[in-house]
Amino acid sequence: MGLSGRHFLASTDCSAIEWHQLLDLAAAFKAGQARVHLDGKVLGLIFSKASTRTRVSFAVAMARLGGQTLDLNPAVTQVGRGELVEDTARVLSRYVDALAIRTFAQAELETYARFSSVPVINALTDLEHPCQAIADFLTLREAFGSLEGLTLSYVGDGNNVAHSLILAGVLLGVNVRLACPTGYGPDPAVLDRAQAIAGDGATVEVLADPEAACLGAQALYTDVWASMGQEQEAGQRLRDFSGYCLDQHLLSLADPEAIVLHCLPAHRGEEISAGVMEGKASRIFDQAENRLHGQQALLASLLGSGV
Instruction: Please give the pLDDT value at position 43.
Output: 98
pLDDT tens figures, 254-288? 999 999 999 999 999 999 999 999 999 999 999 99
**Cα separation of 174 and 242, whole Å?**
28
Instruction: Please give the pLDDT value at position 235.
Output: 87
Instruction: Please give the pLDDT value at position 306.
Output: 52
End-to-end CA distance of the chain: 6
Average pLDDT over residues 49-60: 96
Q: What is the mean pLDDT of the chain?
A: 96
With CA atoms as reference, report the closest residue to 246 among 192, 210, 293: 210
Catalytic center residues: 102, 129, 132, 223, 263, 291
pLDDT tens figures, 103-142? 999 999 999 999 999 999 999 999 999 999 999 999 999 9
Torsion of CA 135, 140, 142, 144, to 10 degrees: -170
DSSP code, position 186: P
Residue 43 near residue 72, CB atoms below 8 Å: no
**Cα separation of 39 and 37, whole Å?**
6
**Cα separation of 173 and 141, whole Å?**
12
Binding site listing for L-ornithine: 160, 223, 227-228
**Cα separation of 33 and 296, whole Å?**
13
pLDDT tens figures, 2-40? 899 999 999 999 999 999 999 999 999 999 999 999 999
Share of the chain above pLDDT 90, in %: 91
Q: Which domains does the chain have, with CATH numbers?
A: 16-128+291-303 (3.40.50.1370), 132-287 (3.40.50.1370)
Instruction: Please give the pLDDT value at position 284.
Output: 98
